[in-house]
Amino acid sequence: MVVNPPPSAALPSGTGMLLPVRDASGKVGFLDAQLKLAISPRYDSVEAASEGLIAATEGGKRGFLDARGQWAIPPTFARALPFSEGLAAAAVEESGKQRFGFIDHGGHWIVPAQFDAANSFREGLARVRANSVEQYIDHTGKVAFVTPGTASYDFRGGLTRVVQKDVFGYADARGKLVIPPRFPQASDFFEGLAAVKLGARWGYIDAKGAFRIPPRFVQANDFSAGHATVAVSDHEFGFVTPNGRLSGKYLAASNFQGGFAGVLVASAGGQERWGFVDTHGALVVQPKFEKFEGGFREGLVAVAEAQRDFGYVDGRGEYLIQPRFTFAREFVDGIAWVQQQSADGRKEFGYIDRRGAFVWGPFPIP
Amino acid residing at 18: L
The segments of the chain whose pLDDT lies below 70 read 1-16
Distance CA 23, CA 221 (A): 35
- pLDDT the model gives residue 5: 38
The string of DSSP letters for 342-356 reads -TTS-EEEEEE-TTS
CB 239 within 8 A of CB 226: no
Amino acid symbol at 349? F
Q: Are 62 and 90 in contact (CB under 8 A)?
A: yes
What are the pLDDT digits (tens) for 257-316? 888 999 999 977 788 999 999 988 889 999 999 998 988 889 999 999 998 999 999 988
Q: Which residues touch 34 (CB under 8 Å, ≥6 apart)?
A: none
CB 362 within 8 A of CB 350: yes
Task: Please count the other Cβ atoms lying within 10 Å of the Cβ belonging to residue 168.
Answer: 22
pLDDT given at position 267: 76
83, 50 contact by CB (below 8 A): yes
Q: What is the DSSP string of 35-94?
A: S-EEEEEEESEE---BTTBEEEEETTEEEEE-TTS-EEEEEEESEEPPPBTTBEEEEEEE
What's the pLDDT score for residue 3? 39
Between β-strands 228-233 and 260-266, what pairing exists: parallel, antiparallel or unpaired? unpaired
What pLDDT is stored for residue 8 in this prediction?
34
Q: Exposed, middle or buried, 140 (CB in 10 Å: 0-12/13-18/19+)?
A: exposed
